[in-house]
Structure 1
């Protein structure tokens, strides 16, 4: 008895294309977090502050991309449902711990 190929296929879900705001958020989030971590290694507090500001600017762009920005808080209650939600969760932690580090 031969197996049919459709028994091994995984269903594909259509994805919505991300716009320039989300792409900018991903770039600025990575650049800001990287700058902050490098500033810890080199012991430059001003670079750490700049890294956090770049990270927060990227997060603002993500909020602007939302269809209903007033519902952003929902991402924190289901952080494991999408990569954007996970990013919101970890960026919040990064900003909180970064602010404590700089203070």
Structure 2
């Protein structure tokens, strides 16, 4: 089973995505950038699904950290709002941007579990 790291500072988002994806992935969660970096440093993930804005940093910082460390996984950057600057930076670093409210997010994650 593929491993996914879900990163978000809202517990409801973590719980909801974990619940929906638990049959498709081995799910690990992190509530902030610091926790996420620790998880990524000790576990190989197939997918990281990270919120953009968190109290201690951004999902782009996590993406840059992963790329600097030469970790290669599908990286999905999420945000409640679509900002073209964030979308472009995500693409520049080889990530996919999706809005949290986009119903395709769950479908996309499920498809990539296979």
- The normalised TM-score by structure 1 is 0.33
Give the number of the structure whose alpha-carbon radius of gyration is greater.
Answer: 1
Q: Which has the higher helix share?
A: 1
